[in-house]
Amino acid sequence: MAERFPVPAKAGVPVLQLQGVNVFYGRSHAVQGVDLTLQSGVLSVVGRNGMGKTTMCKAIMGLVPISSGSIRFMGEEIAGLPPADVARLGIGYVPQGRRLWRSLTVHEHLRLMSKPKGRWTPERIYEVFPRLAERRNNGGAQLSGGEQQMLAISRALLMNPRLLIMDEPTEGLAPVIVAHVEETLVRLAAEGDVSILVIEQNIGVATQMSDPVAIMVNGRINRVIASATLAADRDLQQRLLGVGRHGHDDAEAGTQDARAGATPAAAPAPASQGPIRVFMANPVIPTRWSKDVPAAQIEAAARTVSRPTLATIDGRVIGDTSALAARGPSEPHVIIAGTLDTKGEELRYIRDIIKAAGLRTRLVDVSTQGRNHGADVSAQEVALASPRALPGLASGDRGAAVAAMTEAFATWIAGQQDVLGLISAGGSGGTAIATAAMQTLPIGVPKIMVSTMAAGNVAQYVGSTDITMMHSVTDVQGLNRISRAVLGNAAHAMAAMAKAHLATPRPDPLRDRPLVGLTMFGVTTPCVQQVAKLIAADWEPLVFHATGVGGRSMEKLVDSRLLQGVIDVSTTEVCDMLMGGLLPATEDRFGAVIRTRLPYVGSVGALDMVNFAAPDTVPQHYRGRNLYPHNPQVTLMRTTADENTRIGRWIGERLNLMEGPVRFLIPEGGVSSLDAPGKPFFDPEADAALFQALADTVRITANRQLIRLPHHINDPAFAQALVREFLALHQGRRGAARKRT
């Protein structure tokens, strides 16, 4: 037999395409005219037991013959090929049940399957699954279920497949292992090494791994639907996939069955056309020994339904049964989140008020006990958003669990769309979880936190965003005369803000001036005022006081895509961060610009000083330094040449991470109003160390430039230079918009 080699990729050709595939076991029609396309990446197929999912996998692999139809891999027909040839072409198969060799060790499994000069080697497997490296000398029968699944996946990967077919990969696994397997598969697909067809019953895993998701009912692909639509529609899940319910409740799945001899029913009518008849052609799951079901019995068992057959909101179709449907539209909604195990009554009270105001709501559970409390989004579903958090949730330690759920909920909320607002109520733990997620939402999206902590220092909860903190007065523990009033006020406030947010017109780039953020400190005020005046005709300047939170606030707007430009004159917060001052930046300073690739214009404003409070608060080891009393509550310390070298290197390394255009301007005449001839912080040697550190660190390219100018930072010529470079980076953006009007 001629040796087959992996099929090369062809541009635009789907990795896998099934058309009209039929499979019979005797007279039982297991797979009925399946059409399915996997272009690339990950595609999940969900369905109850007995729906034909495993048979479809076996048909692809050549383990069962198809009676008709086409199966193409990378554009090449593979139907009818022996299983070994299918595997050689580049399709790996991880069957349900793993099927490992009990007597072989982990390493022996990997050595047996590894190929010389393949992309996948045992060493790479150990990097992806470190747990297998620890268990390399254990036999297949000595591994846990999760370890066995990792080994089964690894065995398939060592065949260097272009397509990996996985049948129930998370069956019987603990949530922590489920999350690890899910994360690993998604990462492999994202790296482009392999595309993955996942057969799943776990809707949470399926919708997290792929978008859209295919639903299989009675041997057919009933629909391919947007993951967000499936995850949000509990009724659709019950009708198609729920325990004790039949897939015949939906669409055409139960209206005809060739092997049973039933008369096909009419195509389902739209909801507006009244009730329809639904015929259940398979009273029991068919086997190869099944006999025909008499048509009279099918007719007698038929039911009448009046629901529309697609996922709907208020009777309006939101699903799409077309192949590989685009993400379905979602409805704007308010999220009510909290720990339902202890605050369920209060949160539902808030939800009911917001719903009564005419807004759609989603109740999200962020409790850490692992039980289901009837939320629209369970705590388990939230936890799956951040696999790194799952070990903490499973640790049994409350502090670790709260920290883990905080990370998971922030990750989950960042992936949601059409959020009109987020409201929560709780104590210290619930406040920490909810406000961390609120900080990820864009500025302007309403955020209300009813908290027992709101009467104290809330800086850590509010951060740099627009969170409204409301003191709960009494503990958030049961409904009473006081708590009803406070929670009711919060709910009504959220409803009003959400409606106003929904009604607010979106910015019009043809009419509105784009927003530009400027950072200012007292000692760089003249520069920033001149810059703002020079750009005001075409840009709307937003000035941020560089006091630590000011820089974070500006970058929050950058992350929220609300700023179209940045002139970062005053980067002084870096001094306080590195030297222990009162107004520090965080390690994420410049991070928003790096993430968004926004054109960046910056400078070294006020990098000559560190801020402390009153003179007696200056740390002992700084007492002999050049100190300047800015006012009775603020003491400034002049930075030294060594400190400026450190500052310059730190900023330079961050500039190197920016992939958008960068212009960083250096005023060689001084960096603040105190750094000028005759002023207390004038120190050319210290400034020179800063400038040299920047020059030594920044990698100069056509897109990233340092510009040294012989001006003081507050000279009009320097402000003009900042504006000139800024406008050059944004050349044509505003002018083009005006021409279109």
DSSP secondary structure string for all residues of 67-114: SEEEEEETTEE-TT--HHHHHHHTEEEE-TT----TTSBHHHHHHHH-
The DSSP code for 578 is H
Do the bridges between strand 68-73 and strand 447-451 make them parallel or antiparallel, or are there none, so unpaired?
Answer: unpaired
CA distance 50 to 378: 27
CB of 476 closer than 8 Å to CB of 483 = yes
> Could you report how far apart the first and last alpha carbons of the chain are, in Å?
69
CB of 613 closer than 8 Å to CB of 603 = no
CA distance 404 to 386: 9
Partners of 221 in beta bridges:
216
Cβ-count burial of 527 within 10 angstroms (0-12 exposed, 13-18 middle, 19+ buried)?
buried
CA distance 425 to 66: 57
What integer pLDDT is reported at residue 318 of this predicted model? Answer: 35
CA distance 23 to 56: 8
Please give the average pLDDT of every successive group of 10 residues along the chain, which has 741 residues.
46 82 83 86 85 90 88 88 88 78 80 74 78 78 75 80 83 64 70 80 78 85 81 73 42 36 35 48 66 66 42 36 33 92 90 93 86 76 72 70 88 88 92 92 92 86 88 86 93 95 72 88 95 93 91 88 92 95 93 93 96 92 92 92 97 95 96 95 96 96 94 96 94 46 35
CB of 539 closer than 8 Å to CB of 565 = yes
Q: What are phi and psi of 204, to 5 degrees?
A: -60, -45
What integer pLDDT is reported at residue 259 of this predicted model? Answer: 35
CB of 644 closer than 8 Å to CB of 683 = no
Dihedral in degrees, nearest 10, Cα atoms 434, 436, 439, 445: -10
CA distance 720 to 56: 68
CA distance 517 to 565: 6
Answer positive or negative: Cα dihedral of 467, 473, 476, 479: negative
pTM value > 0.75: no
CB of 672 closer than 8 Å to CB of 605 = yes
CB of 335 closer than 8 Å to CB of 409 = no
Q: How far apart, in Å, are the Cα atoms of 486 and each of 45, 143, 354?
A: 46, 54, 14
Per DSSP (E only), the strands in 87-182 are 91-94, 163-167
What integer pLDDT is reported at residue 258 of this predicted model? Answer: 35
CA distance 363 to 377: 6
CB of 713 closer than 8 Å to CB of 722 = no
The long-range contacts involving 57-60, CB below 8 angstroms and separated by at least 24 positions, are: 57/93, 57/95, 57/165, 57/167, 57/197, 57/199, 59/21, 59/23, 59/31, 60/16, 60/18, 60/86, 60/91, 60/165, 60/197
CA distance 468 to 490: 10
CA distance 514 to 726: 13
CA distance 197 to 327: 19
CA distance 458 to 460: 6
Query: Using alpha carbons only, what angle is made at residue 159 by residues 153 and 162, rounded to the nearest 5 degrees?
Result: 85
What integer pLDDT is reported at residue 175 of this predicted model? Answer: 61
For residue 662, how many other CB atoms are within 10 A of its CB?
Answer: 23
Radius of gyration for the chain, computed over Cα atoms and rounded to the nearest angstrom: 31
Q: How far apart, in Å, are the Cα atoms of 421 and each of 58, 433, 461, 723?
A: 47, 16, 17, 37
What integer pLDDT is reported at residue 123 of this predicted model? Answer: 82
CA 669 centroid distance within chain = 46
CA distance 524 to 683: 17
What integer pLDDT is reported at residue 300 of this predicted model? Answer: 57
The DSSP code for 365 is E
